[in-house]
Structure 1
Amino acid sequence: MNGRRRVVVTGLGIVSPVGNDIATAWTHLTAGKSGVSRITRFDASSFRTQIAGEVKDFEPERFIDKKEIKKMDLFIQYAMAAAQFAMEDSGFTITDENAERVGVLVGAGLGGLPTIEKYHAALLESGYKKISPFFIP
């Protein structure tokens, strides 16, 4: 071999507008069912576009401590849940012996925009002292 280690995908997890588990998402995708519908997360009546692919029926408390939820944008909450689903799907148990060889790959194109907007406004209004130490743009 060329010195590279092989990687094995052992489990899958998904949180998406077409389903929050692999079976539902796959069924909807293969049936051509769209996850796009009217926006319900906020009042979009002033926007030209009022449809989006929103995640429905997501309960972050099932995956994340309530205190931590407040510190996380939705896209991170979704990633945490999908990673947990993938671990459950794999049937794999992390132990002291294998923990150093286990990883989770998460991909995101862009996220955290509500937090960026919130802290940008706080910076403009009150200066840097009102910025959370958890904020990293």
Structure 2
Amino acid sequence: MSYTRVVVTGVSAVTPIGLDAASSWENLLKGVSGIGPITQFDTTEFATTIAGEVTDFDASAYVPPKSLRRMERFTQFAVVSSMMLLEDAGLEITDDNAERVGCIIGCGLGGLEALERSHTTLLKSGPRRVSPFMIPTLISNMAPGMASIFT
């Protein structure tokens, strides 16, 4: 069996305990908990009212406003984290190295905010008012796709 050498040259993280790898690691070592009351939506009807939420996240330093409007939060996390990773690695993707750089991001589920918004719009205003961008923002492979585009 032959093995392919892989070198990790940069790290990044967007987590409930830090918006970058350094602060996430520092808070992890301090025992800081990222678990708290859910603030992204009303939980009064639910048994669970706590979660690990990413707070104070602002992708606008990395992504233009027009692009942000069409990106769900989970995709913003992936794009910003990918850009921070490249900064940390000191890697600039150029025509000379682009074919040797890849993007692998595991994402099981995302875009639930888009689904909820679209469902509400459908019920209140009918199918013609549902955004044509609903499916593209909803699909989980949008995170690695947009990360590839922006990096």
TM over 0.5: yes
Q: What displacement does 1:41 show?
A: 2.9
| TM-score calculated relative to the size of structure 2 | 0.77
Map 1:46-57 to 2 at 5 A.
Answer: 46-57=45-56
Relative to structure 1, the CA distance from residue 122 to residue 56 in structure 2 (aligned partners, 3 Å threshold; closer, same or farther) is: closer
Report the equivalent of 1:35. Answer: 34
Relative to structure 1, the CA distance from residue 120 to residue 29 in structure 2 (aligned partners, 3 Å threshold; closer, same or farther) is: same
Report the equivalent of 2:62. Answer: 63
Tell me the distance in 2 between the aligned counterparts of 1:24 and 1:10: 18
Give the aligned CA root-mean-square deviation in angstroms.
2.2
Report the equivalent of 2:142. Answer: none
**Partner AA of 2:41 in structure 1:** F
Misfit runs of 4+, over 6 Å: none
Report the equivalent of 2:147. Answer: none
Instruction: Name the % identity.
Output: 45
Report the equivalent of 1:126. Answer: 126
Relative to structure 1, the CA distance from residue 46 to residue 123 in structure 2 (aligned partners, 3 Å threshold; closer, same or farther) is: closer
Q: Give the SS at the match of 2:134.
A: coil
Q: What displacement does 1:45 show?
A: 4.1
- 1:51-76 per-position Cα deviation (integer Å, ceiling 9, x unaligned): 22111221111111101111111000
Tell me the distance in 2 between the aligned counterparts of 1:101 and 1:119: 39
Paired residue total = 135
Q: Give the SS at the match of 1:28.
A: helix
Relative to structure 1, the CA distance from residue 19 to residue 6 in structure 2 (aligned partners, 3 Å threshold; closer, same or farther) is: same
Q: Give the SS at the match of 1:72.
A: coil
Name which of structure 1's ranges 4-13 and 82-91 shifts more when overlaid on structure 2.
4-13
User: What are the ranges of 5 or more consecutive residues in structure 1 without an aligned counterpart?
Assistant: none
Report the equivalent of 1:15. Answer: 14
Tell me the distance in 1 between the aligned counterparts of 2:70 and 2:24: 28
Tell me the distance in 2 between the aligned counterparts of 1:123 and 1:46: 22
Q: Give the SS at the match of 1:94.
A: coil
Tell me the distance in 2 between the aligned counterparts of 1:123 and 1:39: 26
| TM-score calculated relative to the size of structure 1 | 0.83
Q: What displacement does 1:46 show?
A: 4.4
